[in-house]
Amino acid sequence: MTPEAFAAALAAAGVNVPRGTFERLARYEALLRDWQGRMNLVAPSTLSAVWERHFLDSAQLAALVPPGRLWLDIGSGAGFPGLVLAAMEHGRFRLVESIGKKCAFLRAAAEAMGLANVEIVNARVEDLPPQRADVITARAAAPLARLLDWSLRHGTPGTSWIFPKGRTWDAEVADARRAFRFALDVAESRTDPEARILRISDPRRAKG
């Protein structure tokens, strides 16, 4: 995928790509490829399609949330979706990752992109004090029920939980509803016809 195709796909979703985004993401891609040789950041089979499989898949979340919010990105790993959205200047981002080596990569990537809107936290999200985030997100970090269990106390009545999920998304929702009550909107993914983006509000533990 070319940067032009990336921008066109986001424009179709009503998302503006700020000046400098492509240069920042190009530096991100170069660093990702360099570090991938030393540690497993992404599936090797996806490296040939970084712009679509990782960048666009992350960037499409911007269509669901107005800019300027504080995002809590759980289990950030290689930085998806948090670093991509930060490169697009779509808000402030707190990336939580429990593995120290991955945090080192996240800090190096944020520095290479010149991002001032990112904080890297080396911790387990369930060990953090309440974060009061406007948006809570995670990509390929854990099943939905576990993500809600970890993150419930970090939200407020106005928080949105935004989770991109693969082809088993409906089974994850059904499982999560056994332990939680929540309002749910489901959006189609622009990178995978079988995937969906779950937008959850007002989650709470089920009684009894």
For 30-86, write each residue's pLDDT tens digit: 999 999 988 889 888 888 889 888 999 999 999 999 999 999 999 999 999 999 999
CATH at 157: 3.40.50.150
Residue 2 has pLDDT above 80, yes or no: no
- pLDDT at position 208 is 60
For 100-110, write each residue's pLDDT tens digit: 999 999 999 99
Count structural domains, the chain.
1
Q: Which domain holds residue 178?
A: 3-205
Give percent of the chain above pLDDT 70: 100
148-153 LR contacts (CB < 8 Å, sep 24+): 148/176, 148/179, 148/180, 148/182, 148/200, 148/203, 149/179, 150/74, 150/125, 150/126, 151/72, 151/74, 151/125, 152/180, 152/203, 152/204, 152/205
Residue 13 has pLDDT above 90, yes or no: no
- pLDDT at position 178 is 95
- pLDDT at position 37 is 85
Q: Give the burial string for 83-93 (b: 16+ CB within 10 Å, else e).
A: bbbbbbbbbeb
For 112-139, write each residue's pLDDT tens digit: 999 999 999 999 999 999 999 999 999 9
Q: CB–CB of 115/23 below 8 Å? A: no
Residue 5 has pLDDT above 90, yes or no: no
For 139-164, write each residue's pLDDT tens digit: 988 899 999 999 999 999 999 999 99
CA 62 – CA 53 distance, rounded (Å): 16
